């Protein structure tokens, strides 16, 4: 894709070389400090963005509070219709927004388009859900009484998202938050601000068309301090944070101190187990995509490969042959399998991790390296690496956002492999490759994977909108997207109605009134 073609897509999204990055609806507020968005694809400056100021933060929250007062009174199916219109607007802008995601973040164009499709899918899911926000009825022990439970919106939902999925994770949260009657304030990653600004412009047009308060959707741009402001703000009922475990712990501590609600989807150290009963062709297909897709920058990236010692050499041979065929280059060229890391800081972290792995005794199987810009268009390109390692190594216990795969042999039964898989602080995604039903069922049982996602004969990477997404332990315990994840965005209320002429009291107590 040429620079001219990229600029045309940005023009269609109304993205310019200078942007105001704080907004409620279509009202974009001026800031003071600037952040710059450079493309990791070619190192070019895309735009300068005015950051949120302290004053504009206050105004955004005030406007969000005012918008909530009206939005919560609109029936849920009508709120769902707004989300339907947003989904339709995304369909019209899918190509443009997909190109921006690929260009600003560095993932492949196919993945960029796929991420926008996830936004469309969650809108469709939320539209149907808007007519199914059900409660419960139950029988009262008191005569001529009835009891039921119902759900109400929380108010302002703060959303903190990461650079690797610069639009989809916001949509997972915001589509559900909106149909539940909440308003949202989004603090995107400062590494991908233009993706957020484009989304804000799209939803602002939908809100304006429906004559609804623009502050149903709000945007903050800037550094970590704005995430901290959301976490410490009593007016923000729920903070949904996606990112590193370190960031999530900070958010959780601040929100808990004020007895607020948090939804955390944090780090992953995801493993694939390959047993002697696996279909190796199937396993390798899922493994390579899981390990190098998005240049290893997915929270569900396959970071550990736990292989039975009886098939270790065979897997090494096939895997090294597969890696030798990988094409690295511009993610906007469909011939390439892997694009760049997000920035040069990520490249330094990649190089440091490889050096540390060697110091700790890991053995290179495929030696990764930083790729110079003499061949590549920016300094953000690296090659994927595979290291033979021990699960107890400190570097293996840590999540590194890069295409580094640790191969860990196991012996004996599947229980040994499961024990290795579970022996990390994180608990997001996991998978087993086996055609033995006893092995797969054990993996899915209470004795098996301790992750929020446990797959059989597919990779660790990727998720469907219909299922709740998230994990346990240091992954945070939160669930986004499908299933009953909507309940996190609402408060539950128990109601008792007395339709008798008497008021029976607890424990038979009586007053002479």
Cα Rg of the chain (Å, integer)? 25
Residue 299 bears catalytic tag: yes
Longest alpha-carbon distance in the chain: 92
CA distance 261 to 469: 18
Residue 191 CB contacts under 8 Å (≥ 6 apart), including other chains: 37, 105, 163, 342, 343
Q: How many residues belong to the chain?
A: 513
Q: Where are the strands (E) in 171-226, listed by range?
A: 183-187, 217-219
Q: What six digits make up the tokens of 144?
A: 């001529």
| Cα distances (angstroms) measured from residue 63 to each of 69, 116, 210 | 10, 28, 18
Cα separation of 254 and 113, whole Å? 35
Of 123, 218, 299, 380, the catalytic one is: 299
Which of 265, 399, 474, 480 is labelled catalytic?
265
| 370: helix, strand or coil | strand
Burial 36-59 (b: 16+ CB within 10 A, else e): ebbbbbbbeebbebbbbbeebbeb
Of 180, 38, 91, 129, give the one whose Cα is nearest residue 465.
129
**194 in Cβ contact with 104 (< 8 Å):** yes
389 close to 271: Cβ distance less than 8 angstroms: no
> Cβ distance 120 to 91 under 8 Å?
yes
Phi, psi of 19, deg, nearest 5: -130, 150
3-state secondary structure (DSSP) of residue 495: strand
Distance of alpha carbon 305 from alpha carbon 410, whole angstroms: 10
Pairwise CA distance, residues 123 & 169, whole Å: 12
Burial 255-282 (b: 16+ CB within 10 A, else e): beeeebbbbbbbbbbbbbbbbebbebee
Give the span between the Cα atoms of 5 and 1, in whole angstroms: 6
Q: CA–CA distance from 402 to each of 124, 187, 249, 393, 422 (Å)?
A: 32, 24, 22, 18, 21
Catalytic residue numbers read 265, 299
């Amino acid at each position: 894709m040429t620079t001219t073609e990229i600029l045309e897509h940005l023009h269609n999204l109304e993205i310019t070389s200078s942007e105001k990055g704080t907004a409620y609806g279509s009202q974009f507020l001026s800031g003071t400090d600037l952040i710059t968005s450079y493309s990791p694809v070619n190192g070019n400056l895309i735009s300068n963005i005015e950051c949120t100021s302290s004053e504009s933060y206050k105004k955004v929250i005030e406007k969000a509070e005012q918008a909530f007062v009206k939005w919560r009174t609109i029936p849920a199916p009508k709120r769902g219709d707004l989300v339907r219109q947003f989904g339709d607007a995304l369909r019209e802008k899918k190509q443009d927004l997909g190109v921006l995601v690929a260009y600003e973040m560095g993932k492949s164009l196919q993945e960029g388009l796929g991420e926008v499709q996830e936004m469309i899918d969650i809108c469709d899911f939320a539209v149907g859900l808007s007519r199914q926000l059900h409660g419960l009825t139950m029988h009262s022990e008191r005569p001529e009484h009835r009891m039921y439970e119902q759900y109400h919106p929380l108010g302002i939902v703060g959303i903190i998202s990461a650079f690797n999925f610069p639009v989809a994770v916001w949509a997972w949260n915001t589509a559900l938050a909106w149909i539940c009657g909440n308003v949202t304030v989004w603090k995107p990653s400062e590494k991908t601000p233009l993706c957020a600004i484009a989304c804000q412009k799209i939803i602002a047009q939908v809100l304006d068309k429906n004559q609804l308060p623009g502050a149903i959707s709000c945007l903050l741009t800037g550094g970590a301090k704005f995430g901290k402001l959301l976490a410490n703000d009593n007016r923000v009922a729920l903070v949904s944070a996606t990112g590193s475990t370190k960031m999530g712990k900070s958010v959780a501590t601040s929100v808990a101190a004020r007895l607020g609600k948090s939804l955390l989807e944090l780090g992953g150290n995801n493993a694939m187990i390959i047993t002697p009963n696996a279909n190796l062709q199937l396993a390798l297909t899922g493994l390579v995509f899981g390990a190098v897709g998005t240049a290893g920058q997915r929270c569900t990236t396959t970071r550990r490969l736990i292989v039975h010692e009886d098939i270790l050499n065979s897997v090494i041979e096939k895997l090294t042959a597969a890696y030798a065929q990988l094409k690295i280059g511009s993610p906007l060229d469909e011939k390439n399998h892997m694009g760049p890391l997000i920035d040069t800081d990520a490249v330094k972290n990649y190089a440091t991790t490889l050096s540390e792995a060697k110091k700790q005794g890991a053995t290179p199987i495929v030696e990764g390296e930083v790729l110079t810009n003499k061949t590549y268009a920016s300094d953000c390109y690296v090659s994927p690496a595979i290291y033979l390692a021990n699960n107890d190594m400190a570097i293996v216990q840590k999540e590194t956002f890069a295409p580094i795969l640790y191969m860990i042999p196991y012996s004996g039964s599947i229980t040994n492999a499961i024990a290795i898989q579970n022996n990390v602080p994180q608990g997001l995604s996991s998978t087993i490759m086996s055609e033995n039903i006893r092995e797969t069922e054990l993996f899915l049982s209470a004795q098996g994977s301790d992750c929020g996602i446990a797959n059989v004969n597919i990779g660790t990477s990727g998720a469907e909108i219909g299922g709740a997404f998230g994990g346990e332990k240091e992954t945070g315990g939160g669930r986004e997207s499908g299933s009953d994840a909507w309940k996190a965005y609402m408060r539950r209320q128990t109601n008792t109605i007395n339709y008798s002429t008497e008021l029976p009291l607890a424990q038979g107590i009586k007053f002479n009134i």
